[in-house]
Chain A
Amino acid sequence: MVTTKTMTAETHIRYKKESQFMQVLKRLAQDRFAMTGLGILIVIILLSTFAPVITPYSANAFDPKVALQGSSMAHWLGCDKFGRDMLTRLLYGGRYSLLLGFTAAAASAVIGLVLGAFAGYFGGWVDNLVMRFLDVLQAIPGMLLSICIATALGNGFLNTIIALSIGGIAGITRMLRARIMSERKSEYLEAAASINCSTSRIIFKHLLPNTVSPVIVNITMGIGATIMQAAGLSYIGLGVPVGTPEWGAMLSEGRAYIQSAPHLLLWPGVFIAVTVLAINMLGDGLRDAMDPRLKK
């Protein structure tokens, strides 16, 4: 009895010392659903990173003998019109799709957080200017804005990232701004200001860490949405250059063979859906872990 009591007391003390971040991670680790998502995501990342080691084929080697062939022992998921191994291309494609999703989501997160922090902290005309600009930007549905920008910039990896990231800025900015508005009168900010902290230090060292957590969930979910948008852009020929083993571009190439070789259309979509699902599962778990009240 006595030992258990001291045990709980000890764990209690340790629990208090734990940072909020560690608590969130702990709760997340207990969420089976989220961990499944994380597991799937890690497997996909590893598979695409080590694609050259895993598959004996090259992503761009033509082999007309096996063109449009279905699944076989040699080519598990079949071959495309040039006889390139589908599984190999899908694994290499993961690099493009994941990188597009993560970098575009990260870019919109950084811009959105900075804009949101400035708008929320300074208020007044800065806030007005930023918010009215976002009103205008949000009047154009995200995918259409991406199509416009992608058309203007042309094909290419970097251009696709720019086209995708601009659509995601508004949501993040709005969310962070709302959080900061409710936090602006807090005492710790007053305290920081009173010890002569610079404005940038107040914003980035004090205000942002205290307000950013709900936005992180949004950013995570945004990665999944961005991967789908990237695939969409590539499908209509506006994303990465033709011939790149990106999942959306592969769907676009397979479109002509919908009758003769439907496997060309099936697998890239399965890869996209599984990846996005895994990210969304993780994001959903993250939301619950950050705000345990939501669950009950």
Chain B
Amino acid sequence: MAKYIIKRLILCIVVIFCASIVIFTIMYFVPGDPVEIMMGANATIAEKDAMRHEWGLDQPYLIQLGSFLYNVFINHELGISYTYNAPITTEMMSRFPRTLFIGISCIIVDVILSIPLGIQAALKQGKWQDRVSTIFAMACVSVPDFWFALMLVILFSQILHWLPSYGIGGLQYYIMPIMANALAGIGGLLRQTRSGMLDVMKADYITTARAKGVPEKTVIHKHMLNNALIPVITVIGGHFGRAVAGTVIIEQVFSIPGIGQYMLNAVNTRDYPVIRGGVIILAATTSVVMLLVDLVYAVVDPRIKAQYIGKAGQ
């Protein structure tokens, strides 16, 4: 098992490293000179050249890439913001908890809402409960989350005056962002739980359990759920990536000073190092969560565990 964990950890780091190269390369080819944008027409050519030299922008691509990677992975420094002339890592780290909080809360809301609904839909397959949940799931994945967020603001802040429409503060400031961001996940997870349950319900061991005279409640709770929910765990990992990426627009809608808002403000001011840094942090977070989910999966499912132990022994 330890061998497997180490192997996955190394793979995860390699993927994040390569993803950083991809992101750097995309942003390198951005048209327009950041120095030109920042200093405007007032600066002399000599001043601009000095600035370019200071930031290493006059270096060739490979040297810039090398020093970027060195700074990110060795010094843990994502660079300097063009607009604020301040280190990005510090700013990101102060904002990161809020983004992470929204992302994790979304997953919790998704799980709490969609798993019971999915189970019910499967148990009542073909009946009205199933049909309602199918339509509900489809509606959830069809509504743009940022638009849903705006509608929530209109309803709960402007009409009902129940919740603050933007900013940060107590928990009440996070209710609408979490609701809006969790929306798409609910639909996907509900469908996944339903089909997972349906697969399990047809299994021979369920028939066996019933034939033995095991009470229906025990069949559902002990035999079905345990087996049906294991594949759902992997889906949750995928949803986390989506939830974290989704916070980018949601934070903008609610003016929550998280990583997403920092990044989108940077889009407007063409502050590329910030966008680059934000994407790298969020991509790394997603990768780490996926890794954790895979490990949990391996621990929870004895079949998978046996497989890995078998592989490690080979």
Least CB distance, A147 to chain B, in whole angstroms:
7
Q: Tell which of A21-29, A175-183, A193-201, A272-280 binds the partner.
A: A272-280
Q: Which of B273-288 contact A (CB under 8 A)?
A: 275-276, 278-279, 282-283, 286-287
Number of A-B contacts (CB under 8 A): 126
The residues of A that contact B304 with a CB separation of less than 8 Å are: none
Count residues of B near A (Cβ-Cβ below 8 Å).
Answer: 46
> Per-position contact with B for A128-152: 1 when CB-CB < 8 Å, else 0?
0000000111011111110111011
Contact call A140/B147, Cβ cutoff below 8 A? no
Q: Which of A265-284 contact B (CB under 8 A)?
A: 265-266, 268-269, 272-273, 276-277, 280-281, 284
The answer, yes or no, to whether B123 is at the interface (CB within 8 Å) is no
Contact call B141/A141, Cβ cutoff below 8 A? no
The answer, yes or no, to whether A19 is at the interface (CB within 8 Å) is no
Q: Which of A154-210 contact B (CB under 8 A)?
A: 154
Contact call B16/A139, Cβ cutoff below 8 A? yes
The answer, yes or no, to whether A289 is at the interface (CB within 8 Å) is no
A273-B142, A281-B138 known; A251+B147 contact, CB < 8 A:
yes
> Per-position contact with B for A71-99: 1 when CB-CB < 8 Å, else 0?
00000000000000000000000000000
Contact call B138/A236, Cβ cutoff below 8 A? no
Contact call A141/B142, Cβ cutoff below 8 A? no
The residues of A that contact B248 with a CB separation of less than 8 Å are: 143-144, 147, 236
Name the one of A136, A137, A149, A272 contacting B144, with C-beta atoms under 8 angstroms.
Answer: A272
The answer, yes or no, to whether B224 is at the interface (CB within 8 Å) is no
Contact call B146/A235, Cβ cutoff below 8 A? yes
Smallest CB-CB separation from A277: which chain B residue? B142
Least CB distance, A93 to chain B, in whole angstroms:
14
Please list the 4 inter-chain residue pairs (A to B) with the smallest Cβ-Cβ separation, ordered nearest first: A141-B245, A269-B147, A277-B142, A276-B142
Residues of B whose CB lies within 8 Å of any CB of A are: 15-16, 18-19, 22-23, 26-27, 29-31, 138-139, 141-144, 146-148, 150-151, 153-154, 158, 241-242, 244-246, 248-249, 252, 263-264, 267-268, 272, 275-276, 278-279, 282-283, 286-287
Report 17 cross-chain contacts, Cβ distance below 8 Å, ordered by A residue: A136-B18, A139-B287, A140-B22, A141-B241, A141-B245, A141-B282, A143-B245, A147-B275, A151-B272, A232-B249, A236-B248, A258-B150, A258-B154, A266-B151, A269-B148, A269-B150, A273-B144
Known pairs A147-B279, A236-B249, A273-B144 / 16 extra A-B pairs, C-beta < 8 Å: A139-B287, A141-B244, A142-B245, A144-B248, A147-B263, A147-B275, A231-B147, A258-B153, A266-B151, A269-B147, A276-B141, A276-B143, A277-B139, A277-B142, A280-B141, A284-B138
